[in-house]
Amino acid sequence: MIEIHPCTVTDIEQANTQQQLLANYSRESSIPELGEVSANFDMYRAMEGTGMLHVIGAFGPELVGFAVLIVYGLPHYGGRMVCSMESFFVAPDARRSGAGLKLLRAAESRARELGASALMVSSPVDGRLAKVLPRSGYRETNRIFLRGLA
C-alpha cells in the first residue's frame, strides 16, 4: 500500500531509497546542458525554510516517489500565486500501483492549500509524464526552450 503525505527535505535526503530514486530520475529526466543531477539538499532546505518549497512523498513503506513544489506570485498576473512542480518522480516499480496519480493529486491539493490558482508541471518532451498529464486534466500552455550558456 502506497501512502502519500507531506514530508520534509530532510526526510527525502535520509530515505534509504534516495540514491536509487535520484539515479533513476537522472536517467529519465536529466538535462544534459545542466550536467549531472546532483541534489543540493542545503539549498532545498533553505528554500523550504522560507516557505516557498514544499515536499510530498510517496511511501510504500520506503520512499518510492516525491513531488517538490515551489509557490510564488506572478507579477505580470497581479501577483497571483501559482505552484511550479520543481521535481516529480515515481520509481519505475511503483508506477503501476497508482502512486503517480495519487502523488499528482496530493500536489494539486497542497498547491490549493498554499493559495495557488494553478499548478504548472513540466516534463521531458517524450517522457511518461508528458503522456499522463493530458489524460489527468492538464493542458499544454507553453513550451520551454533551453540553450546552454556555460
| pLDDT tens for the 150 residues of the chain, in order | 899 999 999 999 999 999 999 999 999 999 999 988 999 999 999 999 999 999 999 999 999 999 999 999 999 999 999 999 999 999 999 999 999 999 999 999 999 999 999 999 999 988 889 999 999 999 999 999 999 998
How far from the centroid of its chain's Cα atoms is residue 40's Cα?
Answer: 15
Q: Examine residue 72 and state whether it is found in any structural domain, yes or no.
A: yes
pLDDT of residue 72: 98
Contact status, residue 21 vs residue 63, Cβ threshold 8 Å: yes
Domain count, the chain: 1
Contact 69, 53 (CB under 8 A): yes
Q: Is residue 77 part of a domain?
A: yes
Q: Which residues lie closer than 8 Å to 12 by C-beta, 6 or more apart? A: 18, 41, 55, 57, 63, 66
Residue 21, class by beta-carbon neighbours within 10 Å (0-12 exposed, 13-18 middle, 19+ buried)?
Answer: buried
Residue 141 counted as domain residue: no
The pTM assigned to this predicted structure is: 0.94
Domain span holding position 57: 3-135
**CATH code at 24?**
3.40.630.30
In a domain, 145, yes or no: no
* Burial class of residue 96, CB neighbours in 10 A (0-12, 13-18, 19+): exposed
In a domain? residue 66: yes
Is residue 112 in some structural domain?
yes
Give a yes or no: residue 144 inside a domain: no
Residue 148 lies in a domain: no
Q: Which helix (H) or strand (E) holds 71?
A: strand 63-74
